[in-house]
Amino acid sequence: MAGVYRALGRAPDAAHLAHLSTAIRRVLDHQPRTPWSLLRRAVEAQGLLTGRDSELLERLRRADHDELAQLYRRLPAGARALIRQGQHPLRHRVADEDVLLGADLERHLATDLVDTLLPDSPEDALVPLGRAWMQAKQARKELGAAAGAPDAWHIVGGLRRTDPVSPDVALLAVTAEPETWARRAADALPRDVLVVAGHRGLAIAADPEPIVVHAIRPEAAASSLVWYTGPRAHVRELKARAHGLGLELTRDALRRGEHDLVLADELALYARLELPFIPVELRSRPEVLDLAVSGTLPELVDVADIQGDLHMHTVYSDGRDSVAGMVHASRALGYRYMAITDHSPTARASRVLTLERIAAQAEEIAAVRALAPDITILQGIECDIQEDGSLDVPDSVLERLDIVLASMHESFGHSPARILQRYERVLRHPLVNVITHPANRAPGRLPGYALAFARLFEEAARTGTAVEIDGAPGHLDLDPPLAELAAAIGAPLLVDSDCHMAERLGRQMRFGVGLARRAALTKRQVLNTRDVNAIRAFVSAKREGRPWQA
Ligand SMILES: [Zn+2]
Ligand SMILES: [Zn+2]
């Protein structure tokens, strides 16, 4: 409990503690088992609990507040820290602050608590983007079936900001009757799935991360979107700005005195704060309000700017769909060009493109070209970089292809310096046009190579080789800080899907563009916002040893 006071920034006081404790017990009475099992899981996973400690927690669950305070002190420091930080258990309970605090507590206290616990701290980062997306999709489907489809769904939180990992998945359900809708959904959900049901909110235990759904009225949508999209530092700054203008920003409304201002959308909310609309991907930047005030927000690259996708796989390697299937999906997305880039012979993919099959694939692509004259289909390859920095496909084969991608799918246990040497050799290869997923990171699992990336990007710029922002959920690489560094150094940048299934082409490109936007990239800085002639010129400049001009 001490941690709650620390979070609130106020001194513990007995009457308030009693109040808080009662309110928490009310939640526990509603759903006594799940929250603590989640707590145990969270704590045990970090090796912070012994069997004795688990028992302690069980007693903690049943304790009254005096005993609670006593038991709390006996928990290991790590477990106390988890509770203090408002990791899983407390955060679940503040999905709807009315539940935690009781509706009769002062409004500002409730607001401050949620503000304090709005999840955006990096140590909470848990759900990789791809899984967050799947969970949001599944939750919408199941809740829609359980409670009826709301008027609208909005994704908020880290998923909306294209954070590579988020602490949880958060959604808004817009409906004229949020309380009724939330109650209906809560009643329909199985007990072991529902963690907390509030007056108008739900927290759901999706394994292993929570999904938080806030049901809101349509007139609250603009404020709620800004509020729950976060991150909390941005919301705090907007609140301060509102205050300076004689307004009050809450999760439900922008108010002047007793009156809620009518806001058509987020744009209108920012306008009331005398600001231009701030793109969600920039809201995590500390300097963003200054940029907005001075009218110098960058004009970010948009999905609609993308003219082609230069990295995807088919049944010729480990993709699921045929060349025609990928072409059909690319046309549906409005692309003007695309490249088929299957894995080379030594890749550790489940299937690879053998040298003999490259000719067969060329024939198949030619046949599909005849049927799809409105899109340019490039034949490329994703070549594995060998241990000595050479490629596993002879130049005589590569030079017949339209574009060559090169990648490492492992490090051979090499030091960063050695990996960089391999990259430098491959960058100087006149037939290599793109380095894919350069850091080889896996969001939430592997941090990726700790290279001197500035040197890699300088060499990419010097040799006219692109580095890629790969939108596949398992890569999301380059990550935004590295993409920003690459752009600052002047390395050509591509955003690709690295897609293995036709129906995911669009989604993975959106992830990639989201990362590019997080990196504050403009359309001009992304090579595949240009037409196919620019791509061909880019490839031939390197092949002919001419410098490439952006
Ligand atoms: Zn790859
Ligand atoms: Zn690939």
132-184: pLDDT as tens digits:
899 899 889 989 998 999 999 999 999 999 998 887 788 999 999 999 998 89
Residue 84: both structure tokens together = 């203090």
CA–CA separation, 181 vs 146, rounded Å? 10
- The confidence band for 123, taking pLDDT boundaries of 50, 70 and 90, is very low
Task: Tell me the CA–centroid distance for residue 311 and ligand 2, in Å.
Answer: 6
Residue 232 has pLDDT above 60, yes or no: yes
The burial class, CB within 10 Å (0-12 / 13-18 / 19+), for 197 is buried
Task: Tell me the CA–centroid distance for residue 508 and ligand 2, in Å.
Answer: 12
Long-range contacts of 58-63 (CB under 8 A, 24+ apart): 60/36, 61/28, 61/32, 61/36
End-to-end Cα separation, the chain, in angstroms: 58
- The confidence band for 447, taking pLDDT boundaries of 50, 70 and 90, is confident
Please give the full DSSP string across 230-294, using - where no structure is assigned: --HHHHHHHHHHHHHTT-EE-SS-EEETTEEPP-SSHHHHHHHTT-----GGGTT-TTHHHHHHT
CA–CA separation, 482 vs 449, rounded Å? 12
pLDDT in tens, 256-311: 999 999 999 999 999 999 999 999 999 999 999 999 999 999 999 999 999 999 99
Please report the pLDDT score of residue 291 as a whole number. 97
Please report the pLDDT score of residue 227 as a whole number. 94
Q: Which ligand is nearest to the Cα of residue 340, counting in written order?
A: 2
CA–CA separation, 472 vs 483, rounded Å? 15
Task: Tell me the CA–centroid distance for residue 434 and ligand 1, in Å.
Answer: 11
Task: Tell me the CA–centroid distance for residue 312 and ligand 2, in Å.
Answer: 6
pLDDT in tens, 77-89: 434 444 443 333 3
Strands 169-174 vs 201-205: parallel, antiparallel or unpaired: unpaired
Please report the pLDDT score of residue 198 as a whole number. 66
Please report the pLDDT score of residue 517 as a whole number. 98
What residues does the ion ligand 1 have nearby, CB within 5 Å?
407
Task: Tell me the CA–centroid distance for residue 532 and ligand 1, in Å.
Answer: 23
Residue 127 has pLDDT above 90, yes or no: no
Q: Which ligand is nearest to the Cα of residue 347, counting in written order?
A: 1
Q: Which residue type, as a one-letter code, is found at position 291?
A: L
Task: Tell me the CA–centroid distance for residue 72 and ligand 1, in Å.
Answer: 48
Residue pair 149/141 in contact by the 8 Å Cβ criterion: no
Q: Which ligand is nearest to the Cα of residue 341, counting in written order?
A: 2
Task: Tell me the CA–centroid distance for residue 467 and ligand 1, in Å.
Answer: 13
Please report the pLDDT score of residue 188 as a whole number. 84
Please report the pLDDT score of residue 547 as a whole number. 87
- The confidence band for 113, taking pLDDT boundaries of 50, 70 and 90, is very low
pTM: 0.78
